[in-house]
């Protein structure tokens, strides 16, 4: 599940190894923390001084919600940047 800047929760439909290295199965307790690779499409600072960005989960692995959404507005502090 991904929570966007408006507080809306999105269910991302993909196999477990995309989100975590934990060994999860039907007997695991849920929800579990995880991450999803994404690209930052746009960044800005809102009127309250909070960093925001639009991310796309389409690349690198084509992760989508059950409804097919791939772009989300999130707070910048929700994004962890990795060196390329």
pLDDT of amino acid 75: 98
Angle at 77 between CA 76 and CA 83, to 5 degrees: 80
User: pTM for the whole thing?
Assistant: 0.87
In whole angstroms, what is the distance from residue 74 CA to residue 84 CA? 21
Tokens in use for 44? 């800005």
Please, are residues 11 and 66 in contact by the beta-carbon 8 Å criterion?
A: yes
Buried b or exposed e, range 61-78, using 16+ CB within 10 angstroms: eebebeeeebebebebee
pLDDT tens over the chain, length 84 residues? 899 999 999 999 888 888 888 999 889 998 888 899 999 999 999 999 999 999 999 999 999 998 999 999 999 999 998 876
């Amino acid at each position: 599940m991904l929570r966007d800047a408006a507080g809306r929760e999105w269910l991302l439909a993909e196999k477990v190894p995309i989100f975590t290295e934990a060994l999860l199965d039907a007997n695991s307790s849920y929800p579990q923390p995880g991450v999803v690779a994404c690209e930052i499409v746009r960044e800005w600072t809102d009127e309250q001084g909070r960093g925001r960005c639009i991310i796309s989960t389409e690349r690198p692995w084509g992760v989508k919600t059950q409804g097919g959404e791939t772009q989300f507005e999130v707070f910048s502090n929700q994004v962890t940047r990795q060196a390329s």
